[in-house]
Amino acid sequence: MLALLEDSGLPLPDEVEYGTHCVRFLWLDRKVAVVVDLDEEFGESDANGGHTREGITA
């Protein structure tokens, strides 16, 4: 994530918190957070705009 931000010219987070099941990237002055779930299973998302693994390319 940090390399992706840096390569894209985006600001690095003010804080990075390493949890048991996720990593949180925090930009305090912008009041923005990105949470990366470390769950090994990749299933459907219940959120608006949810997705499945099919059709996602890396």
Give the chain's radius of gyration (CA, Å).
13
Q: Domain of 7? A: 2-37
Q: Write the pLDDT tens digit of every residue in 1-58.
A: 999 999 999 999 999 999 988 999 999 999 999 999 887 665 555 554 555 556 555 4
* Three-class DSSP category at 47: coil
Handedness of CA 9, 25, 19, 40 (dihedral sign): negative
Q: How many other CB atoms are there within 10 angstroms of residue 36's CB atom?
A: 10
Q: Compute φ and ψ for 15, nearest 5 degrees.
A: -140, 150
The tally of domains found in the chain comes to 1
pTM of the entire structure? 0.65
Structure tokens at 28: 């305090």
Is 21 contained in some domain? yes
Is 14 contained in some domain? yes
